Amino acid sequence: MSKNLYSHIDLNLSTDDLTVVTVKDVKDEPILLASCYLPHDDEAPTAEVHRLVAASRGRMQALVVGADANAHHTIWSSTDINQRGECLLNFILQSSLVTANRGEEPTYIGPTSKNVLDITLYTGRCAMVENIYFSIASEPKIKVDVRRNPRNTNWDLYVQILEYKRLRPCVFNSHEKVEAGVNLFTNALNKAFNSACPTIRVKRKTKPPWWNKELGLHRRMVRDMFHWAKLAESEDCWNEYKDLLRDYKKLMRRTKRQSWINFCSSLDKTN
């Protein structure tokens, strides 16, 4: 397994519509992971995607691209073929890319149509799983945030541990013995403290500071209405979903704005 797994954003290749991240697999070899959006009023693929594929080929690095392509082609299970889809397919074939889409589950669902507009492309050592999902052999490093709170120290236990160590005053006649005695005493204190004050996992907040119960309620309503509109396939349901979504976004903007105002008002001075 790799001991040097890392990931970082490639700023040279990333743009507003394209985010590229470099990671290392278990063989310590870099892989480019990209997420891109292809605007429907621009050419497909864009110049940024051309540059990305060329960089992958020039660096001899494997590449995985997840794209909101806004292009139709039956190769990736769209219901029809349009000009954008033809152009994009030609680029895929010329670049020796492989489409990972499997199945016909739509990636776009609207009031009047359902279609597959999102595609996943890959080269190299990436293995398909299903639909537009894929797997990469890697060894993620999970960082757990742990801390000690000295206020929670069990001082009775601390004293008992030190008494068990039976540390006694000593007379040393050389610098080496003094250093050894200091290390022995310091290690005893550290071990006693670590036992009497164990580490605890720090719970991280998963919600932003401006989030509240009202936003959570509205988000659930929007999601429920979206699923209902998909099943009902009714224009009235889709219109109701759009109204709920618009109100939810307005509420979110107001909440963020008010949270920022409250934060600025609470500042007495800047450090």
CATH assignment of the domain containing 30: 3.60.10.10
Shared-domain flag, residues 128 and 154: no
* Partner residues linked to 8 by β-bridges: 22
Whether residue 207 is contained in a domain is answered as no
CA distance 121 to 268: 52
Q: Which of 159, 178, 201 is the last residue of a domain?
A: 201
> Tens of pLDDT along 109-158?
777 778 788 888 888 555 543 444 455 555 555 566 788 888 889 999 99
Shared-domain flag, residues 76 and 168: no
Whole-structure pTM over 0.75, yes or no? Answer: no
Q: Count CB-CB contacts under 10 A for residue 72.
A: 20
Q: Which of 99, 115, 135 is the last residue of a domain?
A: 135
State the average pLDDT over residues 22-27: 74
Q: Cis ω on the peptide bond leading into residue 209 (within 30° of 0)?
A: no
Tell me the HSE value of 32 on the side-chain side, using a 13 A CA sphere: 30
Q: Which of 74-78, 81-85, 139-143, 197-201 has the lowest mean pLDDT?
A: 139-143
Q: Which of 159, 180, 201 is the last residue of a domain?
A: 201
Shared-domain flag, residues 169 and 234: no
Task: Give the total number of structural domains in the chain.
Answer: 3
Whether residue 206 is contained in a domain is answered as no
Whether residue 127 is contained in a domain is answered as yes
Whether residue 271 is contained in a domain is answered as no
Using CB atoms within 10 Å of the CB of residue 44, give its burial: 0 to 12 exposed, 13 to 18 middle, 19+ buried.
buried
The answer to whether 69 touches 38, Cβ cutoff 8 Å, is: yes
Q: What is the dihedral of CA 236, 240, 243, 249, to 10 degrees?
A: -140
> Tens of pLDDT along 45-59?
888 888 888 988 888
Shared-domain flag, residues 67 and 179: no
Domain that holds residue 151: 146-201
Shared-domain flag, residues 150 and 130: no
Phi then psi for residue 128, to 5 deg, are -75, 150
Whether residue 185 is contained in a domain is answered as yes
